[in-house]
Amino acid sequence: MNIIEIFLTGFSLSLDAVAIAVAAGALHKITPRHALKIALFFGGFQMFMPILGWLSGLWFSGYLTSYGNIIGFVLLFSVGMKMFLETFKKETKDEIKKERHLAETKTLTIMAIATSIDALVVGITFNFVSVIIPVAVCVIGAVTFALSLAAIYVGEKFKRIIGNEIEWLGGLVLVGLSIKILLS
């Protein structure tokens, strides 16, 4: 793979993370620290998962390609439905005071894993193509980091334009992504 092919692969792999980053920016008040955390998680997982896939090689490739989409579906669908259903729930005063958002480590880890399952599969294919692994994973991680960081601020702009009604839409985006993963 040449550098352009690696860049395009990184761009393609980042799109699910970018969609969630837009939702993060639209749904919650994101500080610069939270924006960096979200982008680092997505970029980091997109960088780590191809390495894991490459290392797993031929031993687990059949299992991962068979069940990776189901794992991604379950993780994203669960988070998306939770977000969607919470928009209809009346919150108590204590719940309103507690800031909940996608920058919470547990939620962010689940979403980063779910959006990087395809990167794991791409890593498996690295066993069958000529590629310099450190270069490939660094480019994939950097592309995802940069695009996710920018997407957070794009989502923030959407919230200013549309208002708080976008929260239920963010949950539906995650559910839609989970269905896309299941069907692919």
pTM over 0.75: no
Mean pLDDT of the chain: 78
**Six-digit token pair at 18?**
């970018």
147 C-beta neighbours (distance < 10 Å), count: 20
Position with higher pLDDT, 91 vs 15: 15
Of all residues in the chain, the percent with pLDDT exceeding 70 is 69
pLDDT tens, residue by residue, 39-69: 999 999 999 999 998 888 767 656 656 666 6
- What residue ranges do the domains of the chain occupy? 3-183
CA dist 36 → 31, 41, 142, 170 (Å): 9, 8, 13, 20
User: b/e string for 98-132 if b means 16 or more Cβ within 10 A?
Assistant: eeeebbeeebbebbbbbbbbbbbbbbbbbeeeebe
3-class SS string, the chain: CCHHHHHHHHHHHHHHHHHHHHHHHHHCCCCHHHHHHHHHHHHHHHHHHHHHHHHHHHHHHHHHHHHHHHHHHHHHHHHHHHHHHHCCCCCCHHHHHCCCCCCCHHHHHHHHHHHCHHHHHHHHHCCCCCCCHHHHHHHHHHHHHHHHHHHHHHHHHHHHHHCCCHHHHHHHHHHHHHHHHHHC
pLDDT tens, residue by residue, 2-51: 899 899 989 888 888 888 888 888 777 788 998 999 999 999 999 999 99
